[in-house]
């Protein structure tokens, strides 16, 4: 029997979307569902049986000091990294974009330099940072000392370590944000700057607020979402430089997840951590898309 | 009388390429000047130099008789309308039109939302600005659209908003850079008359850049034809049409492209090239020029005929609509008035007086 035209077209559509849908279900939805189910159990990797323990994993996570630490540390880290990384990325991009007008070679060189941390392996960079921040030999403390300041234990002071890691996180992500902002800047029609100059908004400050900032709205939103998801996933620097310490002062969600799941083999608890991690990411992205998106695509 | 704006021997180079070469233009107060030329002829650069967005490499820009070489675009108080409209997409129509005024009358702090209203004088200034915006919007029929964002407007509406933004600031001069190029043909004709009306009601000098000679002929009282970074000829539309001083100007002006005949084609003037417009070359039994008909387009009111001279040069002739077109291949006699004939030097292309 021959199908009607509509039927055949529907079949084609189905053929086209089926592989991607199947992969999505098989490799993303199903694992997430399994993790969600496991988070209500006390399953341990390799164990023959497990028990359903309801929300106990979540209760432990939010009532234990260590669990709460991981959550608050991650949130604080994200709260520091987003504004500074996005802000600095924008400033650097604006500078390099203007520089391209009068010193194109230097501008390209700067672009490469700023992008290096993105291209470099963070684990390898962590070794370099450990040297730079070394309590007695590190260049940071030596500079501080020569200026008459008090040397700090950047990675072993409980009150400082998270800020140190956040600083490295910012350093690492500026280059990527800069590239995204540069693309956004290049897409701004030059007539808008001409119009702004004619209208009396030609000074650097008013140019920025009249043209650059509003026109970068969609880029900024995208950069914020990317930076936020990357910041939430902070792991390499924690694992290689501090191991979450001292005394869990730099423990983060993903690091805790790794420790509980792959060091202590507590699959159930690690699953609960994963779900919390997902929930935060989802909430943040949804918030940014819902609230900000309406304001950046001027309709 | 001092000119509203004057370019004196303005030269502009970008690197080693000379975009403008000794351009001198005089714009009378209240006049409507069209800068006409093909793309890349320097007309937009001239406009940018007039506005202050660009600086000449050498030469002077005089605004109302005083040298404004060191003044910024804003200080010159010129209004400019762009081909791409250049509206701020995040601002409403009202805010777009108001921007030149808010930049002028409000302090940086006063421009901020909410906090701005706490700055003394801001509320009163905002009220004045809103009144002026409403006036301009009324004049352009934009009242209904004041709260819309540019993204939701049609091309014609956007261009009207851009005109509103130019109008609201009461500028010394209006500069329009191909404002109608992005509109469809019907809208273009309507906007053409709206811009002419605006020119009449403001009484200010307009400078209008276009590559469309019809627009220039229809709107301007002075046309400056630019070719290759130089002013080829400046004059009234009638002057340019009736006495083009160069064969390139003759080729540019006129709805139907002018015919150029070489010596030996049947219209002789020594070694000169003879130009005759198709509308001045009509079938005439006692005509001097004989050409073979190739094809004819019947357009109702007129018939456009393509013919070839005995030397093979293509000529076009326009006959009245009731002319009985002979079969293709027939020889047609064409007549013309001697005073409609333009004679150009074969090498330089300069106009020669007929008979000289």
To the nearest whole percent, how much of chain B has pLDDT over 90?
29
Asked, for residue A211, whether it belongs to a domain, the answer is yes
My answer on whether B156 and B269 are in the same domain is: no
Asked, for residue B119, whether it belongs to a domain, the answer is yes
How far is the alpha carbon of B63 from chain A, nearest alpha carbon, in Å? 15
B84: domain CATH number? 3.40.50.300
> Does the CA dihedral B345-B348-B351-B352 come out positive or negative?
negative
- Chain B partners of A201 at a C-beta cutoff of 8 Å? 99, 103
E-strand spans in A66-215? none
- Asked if B196 and B219 count as a contact pair (C-beta separation under 8 A), the reply is yes
- Residue A196: other Cβ atoms inside 10 A: 26
Place of tokens 């939010």: A62
Q: Over the range B190-224, which residues count as b (16 or more CB within 10 Å of their CB) and which as e? A: ebbebbeebbeebebbbbbbbbebebbbebbebbb
My answer on whether B48 and B94 are in the same domain is: yes
Residue A110, classed as helix, strand or coil, is helix
Residues 176-195 of A with CB under 8 A from B: 189, 191-192, 194-195
To the nearest whole percent, how much of chain A has pLDDT over 70?
97
Quick one: pLDDT band at residue B356, thresholds 50, 70, 90?
very low
- Asked if B195 and B201 count as a contact pair (C-beta separation under 8 A), the reply is no
A155: Cβ–Cβ under 8 A, 6 or more apart, which residues? Answer: A130, A133, A161, A164, A241, A242
What range does the domain containing B299 cover? Answer: 256-352
Give the total number of structural domains in chain B.
2
Q: Do B88 and A210 touch (CB under 8 A)?
A: yes
Give the total number of structural domains in chain A.
1
Distance of alpha carbon B69 from the chain centroid: 24
- Interface check for A201 against chain B (CB to CB < 8 A): the answer is yes
My answer on whether B14 and B106 are in the same domain is: yes
My answer on whether B155 and B281 are in the same domain is: no
My answer on whether B294 and B190 are in the same domain is: no
User: Comparing A72 with B1, which gets the higher pLDDT?
Assistant: A72
The tens digit of pLDDT for each residue in B209-257 reads 999 898 899 899 999 999 988 999 999 999 999 999 998 999 989 889 9
State the first-to-last Cα distance of chain B, in angstroms, to the nearest integer.
Answer: 37
- Residue to mutate among B74, B97, B158, with most A CBs inside 10 A, is B74
B341: domain CATH number? 2.40.50.140
The tens digit of pLDDT for each residue in B268-310 reads 777 888 899 999 988 888 888 888 999 999 998 999 999 998 8
My answer on whether B146 and B207 are in the same domain is: yes
Quick one: pLDDT band at residue A76, thresholds 50, 70, 90?
very high
Q: What is the mean pLDDT of residues A123-138?
A: 84
- Report d(CA A41, CA A34) in Å as an integer: 11
Predicted local distance difference test score (pLDDT) of residue A18 = 93
- Asked if A97 and A188 count as a contact pair (C-beta separation under 8 A), the reply is no
Domain boundary among B217, B242, B267: B242
The tens digit of pLDDT for each residue in B82-104 reads 988 889 988 888 889 988 888 88
Asked, for residue B317, whether it belongs to a domain, the answer is yes
The tens digit of pLDDT for each residue in A161-171 reads 889 899 989 99
Q: Do B150 and A205 touch (CB under 8 A)?
A: no
Please name the residue ranges forming H helices in chain B: 43-51, 93-105, 122-139, 155-167, 185-202, 213-219, 237-242, 247-252
- Report d(CA A73, CA B216) in Å as an integer: 68
Q: Do A198 and B78 touch (CB under 8 A)?
A: yes
To the nearest whole percent, how much of chain B has pLDDT over 70?
97
Residue B229 phi, psi (nearest 5): 80, 5
DSSP state of A211: I
Quick one: pLDDT band at residue B155, thresholds 50, 70, 90?
confident
As to burial, measured by CB atoms within 10 angstroms (0-12 exposed, 13-18 middle, 19+ buried), residue A266 is: buried
């Amino acid at each position: 029997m021959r199908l009607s035209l509509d039927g055949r077209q529907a079949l084609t559509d189905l053929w086209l979307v089926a592989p991607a849908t199947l992969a999505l279900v098989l490799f993303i939805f199903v694992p997430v569902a399994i993790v969600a189910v496991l988070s209500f159990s006390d399953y341990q990797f390799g164990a023959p049986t497990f028990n359903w323990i309801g929300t106990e994993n979540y209760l432990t996570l939010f009532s234990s000091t260590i669990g709460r630490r991981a959550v608050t540390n991650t949130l604080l880290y994200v709260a520091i990294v987003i504004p500074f990384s996005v802000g600095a990325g924008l400033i650097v991009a604006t500078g390099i974009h203007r520089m391209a007008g009068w010193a194109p070679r230097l501008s390209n060189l700067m672009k490469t330099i700023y992008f290096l941390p993105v291209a470099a392996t963070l684990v390898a960079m962590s070794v370099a940072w450990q040297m730079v921040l070394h309590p007695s030999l590190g260049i940071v403390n030596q500079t501080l000392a020569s200026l008459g300041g008090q040397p700090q234990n950047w990675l072993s002071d409980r009150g400082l370590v998270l800020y140190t890691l956040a600083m490295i996180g910012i350093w690492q992500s500026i280059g990527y944000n800069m590239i995204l902002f540069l693309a956004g800047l290049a897409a701004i029609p030059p007539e808008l700057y001409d119009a702004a100059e004619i209208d009396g908004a030609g000074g650097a400050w008013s140019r920025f607020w009249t043209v650059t900032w509003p026109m970068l709205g969609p880029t900024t939103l995208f950069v914020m979402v990317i930076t936020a998801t990357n910041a939430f996933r902070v792991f390499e620097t924690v694992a290689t430089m501090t191991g979450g310490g001292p005394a869990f002062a730099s423990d983060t969600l993903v690091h805790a997840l790794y420790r509980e799941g792959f060091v202590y083999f507590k699959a159930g608890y690690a699953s609960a951590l994963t779900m919390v991690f997902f929930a935060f990411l989802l909430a943040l992205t949804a918030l940014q898309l819902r609230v900000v998106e309406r304001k950046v695509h001027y309709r | 009388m001092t000119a509203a704006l004057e370019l004196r021997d303005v030269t502009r180079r970008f690197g080693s390429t000379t975009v403008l070469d000794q351009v001198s233009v005089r714009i009378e107060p209240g006049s409507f000047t069209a800068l006409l030329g093909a793309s890349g002829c320097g007309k937009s650069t001239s406009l940018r130099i007039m506005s202050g967005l660009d600086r000449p490499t050498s030469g002077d820009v005089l605004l109302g008789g005083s040298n404004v070489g060191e003044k910024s675009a804003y200080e010159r108080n010129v209004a400019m309308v762009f081909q791409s409209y250049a509206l701020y997409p995040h601002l409403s129509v009202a805010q777009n039109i108001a921007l030149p005024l808010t930049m002028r009358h409000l302090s940086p702090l006063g421009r901020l939302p909410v906090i701005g209203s706490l700055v003394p004088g801001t509320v009163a200034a905002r009220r004045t600005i809103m009144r002026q915006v409403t006036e301009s919007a009324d004049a352009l029929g934009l009242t209904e659209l004041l709260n819309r964002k540019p993204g939701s407007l049609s091309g014609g509406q956007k261009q009207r908003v851009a005109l509103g933004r130019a109008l609201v600031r009461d500028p010394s001069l209006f500069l329009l850079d191909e404002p109608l190029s992005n509109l469809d043909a019907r809208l273009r004709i309507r906007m053409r008359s709206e811009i002419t009306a605006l020119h009449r009601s403001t009484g200010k000098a307009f400078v209008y850049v276009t590559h469309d000679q019809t627009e220039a002929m229809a709107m301007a009282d002075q046309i400056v034809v630019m070719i290759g970074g130089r002013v080829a000829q400046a004059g009234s539309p009638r002057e340019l049409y009736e006495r083009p001083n160069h064969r390139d100007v003759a080729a540019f002006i006129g709805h139907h492209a002018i015919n150029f005949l070489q010596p030996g084609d049947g219209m002789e003037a020594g070694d000169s090239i003879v130009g005759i417009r198709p509308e001045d070359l009509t079938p005439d039994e006692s005509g001097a020029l004989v050409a073979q008909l190739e094809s004819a387009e019947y357009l109702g009111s007129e018939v456009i005929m393509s013919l070839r001279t005995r030397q093979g040069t293509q000529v076009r002739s326009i006959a009245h609509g009731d002319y009985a077109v002979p079969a293709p291949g027939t020889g047609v006699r064409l007549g013309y008035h001697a005073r409609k004939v333009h004679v150009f030097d074969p090498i330089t292309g300069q106009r020669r007086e007929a008979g000289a």
